Amino acid sequence: MKQCMDAANLHRRLSKIQGQVRAIDRMIDEDIPCEDILSQVNAVKSAMHKVGQIILEGHLQHCVKDGIQHGDADKTIASFTKAVERFANLK
C-alpha cells in the first residue's frame, strides 16, 4: 500500500490533525465558547476528509490502474467500488 501513497504528505497532514485535536481538548478545559470549538471540530473533519481523498486518489492511480492492466479488471473495479463506498460513508 505504501507504493500508492505519498506517505510523507499523509504523515505531515495527520500530525497537524493530531495537533488540532489536542488543541480542541485544551479549548474544552479553557472554557472556550462552543461555537469556536465546533469550528475547530469542523476543521479537523475537513482535514480528515482530505486525507481520505489523497488515499483514494493514490489507490486509483496505482492499485486500480495496475489491477486493470495486469489482473482481473472486474475484481479490481469491484474492490474500488467498495473503497469508494467506504469513503463516502465517512461523515
List the CATH number of the domain containing 82: 1.20.58.1000
pTM of the shown model: 0.84
pLDDT of residue 91: 55
Average pLDDT over residues 26-45: 97
Residue 18 has pLDDT above 80, yes or no: yes
- Of the ranges 28-42, 51-65, 76-90, the best mean pLDDT one: 28-42
Task: Count Cβ atoms below 10 Å from residue 64 Cβ, excluding itself.
Answer: 20
Single-letter amino acid, residue 71: G
Question: Domain containing 39: what range?
Answer: 2-88
Say which residue, 39 or 62, is predicted with more confidence. 39
pLDDT at 1: 61
- pLDDT higher than 60, residue 40: yes
Domains in the chain, number: 1
